[in-house]
Amino acid sequence: MTTLQPVRGTQSLLGEDADRLAAVVAAFDATRKLFGFKRVEIPVLENTAVFARSLGETTDVVSKEMYTFDDRGGDSVTLRPEFTAGIARAFLSEGWQQHAPLKVATHGPAFRYERPQKGRFRQFHQLDAEIIGAAEPAADVEAIAFAAQLIAELGLAERSTLNLNTLGDPATRTAWRDALHAHFSAHKKALSDESRARLDRNPLRILDSKAHQDWPIVDSAPAIDEHLTPEAADFFAAVTSGLDAAGIAWTRAPRLVRGLDYYRHTAFEFVTEELGAQSQLLGGGRYDGLIETLGGPPTPAVGWAAGIERLAMMIDAPARATPEVVLVPLGERAEAEAQRILTVLRRAGIAADMAYRGNMKKRLSKASEAGAAYALIIGDDELERGEGQLKDLGTGEQRSIALHGLAEALKA
């Protein structure tokens, strides 16, 4: 019989690899609580319209990358490719407007059908943080500060850079888009095929083209600062001054864009040079127009997402979880007593395990391999005396220890 293989672009993790992902999530959860972001849970499965409306029918994600299918009721549903649209949908349909401004955070799996590569999978895992219902620049600073503290908690502050840009208000964006369209149209013949396809649909996307032939044309493109309204300039100044006051270093990245029209004002990303082409660790921005595209009232919002796998690749392996003591029972009576002892130790907060297979030498070897500090050997003779033999696996020393009050003795 042929061994079943995992679906391409998915992975099964054991031990250290799984622990790295858990360490990222633990740091995220601890930081979330410091910043007062409420934990939320949203469905993995949404009506396809949630993403078609929010991401745009013509985007690569919607047209090429989503896992979309009709369920048995004939409804088109999609495995979430990202979190923001689902949170925005929940904000509208679950009555969360009453809590605005709302700070929420979550994490979990997401799905995109794309070519797997380093740090990128078809089932991947994301961290996500959003502030919904706050139009002030201070909300942008708060979202970025949360991200910056998480990056620092993971030990990546010195190995990454915060890139920052403004996309301006709608008036700014319209003027800039028109200027970019005129510029790229004048060089249309020299553009790559992909950029020519983007020209009329979304000329801003040409700014982040990966095609080398586009780069000289992109470098000479008009900058957004030439088209900023006074209001948009003031908003960006308030964000940068807030970051400066918080002691968060940033770098201006005038080509950093978000292609969808509902993005406004702040765009940011944390990048590294250690992951090759997949340089972004975390990215986000202000998306004041999103909830309106889902049928809600105009609602300001800002947020970010980060790939857990990419962050996990960057951090040191967390310390391995090891038992304090491993029980080595000899005989059926000792095995039954060992189960009772395990329960007592674990309820007392002592990590404990049992080696129940093999001869004495193999069991002690397994206990050492597990990283235990002690092995507790119990047999019929020990049980008659109400004691066990406690072996220090580091020094090899062995002594008798009373089974009554064992947890307290180990703690001492």
Instruction: Read off the pLDDT of residues 43-86 as tens digits, 9 standing for 90 and up.
Output: 999 999 998 887 765 566 766 789 999 999 999 999 999 999 99
Beta-strand relationship, 45-47 and 123-132 = unpaired
Residues with Cβ within 8 Å of 168's Cβ and at least 6 positions away in sequence, in order, are 176, 224, 227, 228, 229, 232, 264, 265
Find out whether 314 and 275 touch, Cβ atoms under 8 Å.
Answer: yes
What does the alpha-carbon distance between residue 163 and residue 257 come to, in Å, rounded to a whole number?
Answer: 11
**What pLDDT is attached to residue 250?**
97
Task: Give per-residue pLDDT as tens, 349-390.
Answer: 999 999 888 888 898 999 999 999 999 999 888 888 998 999
- Amino acid identity of residue 75, one-letter, is D
- Assign 329 to helix, strand or coil: strand
**What pLDDT is attached to residue 411?**
87
Write 241-245 long-range contacts (CB < 8 A, 24+).
Answer: 242/137, 242/138, 242/140, 242/141, 243/141, 243/144, 243/145, 243/164
Task: Give per-residue pLDDT as tens, 137-184.
Answer: 999 999 999 999 999 999 999 999 999 999 999 999 889 889 989 999
Beta-strand relationship, 161-166 and 251-252 = parallel
pTM assigned to the model: 0.89
> Is CATH 3.30.950.10 the classification given to domain 325-411?
no
Find out whether 40 and 104 touch, Cβ atoms under 8 Å.
Answer: yes
Domain borders along the chain are: 16-169+229-314, 325-411
Average pLDDT, the chain: 91
Q: Where residue 277 falls among pLDDT bands split at 50, 70, 90? A: low
C-alpha angle with apex 58: 55 to 60, nearest 5 degrees? 75
Beta-strand relationship, 352-354 and 374-378 = unpaired
- Assign 252 to helix, strand or coil: strand
Residue ranges of E strands in 339-384: 352-354, 374-378
Q: Could you tell me what percent of the chain has a pLDDT over 90?
A: 62
CATH number (3.30.930.10, 3.30.360.10, 3.20.20.100, 3.40.50.2300) of 16-169+229-314 reads 3.30.930.10
Average pLDDT over residues 217-231: 91
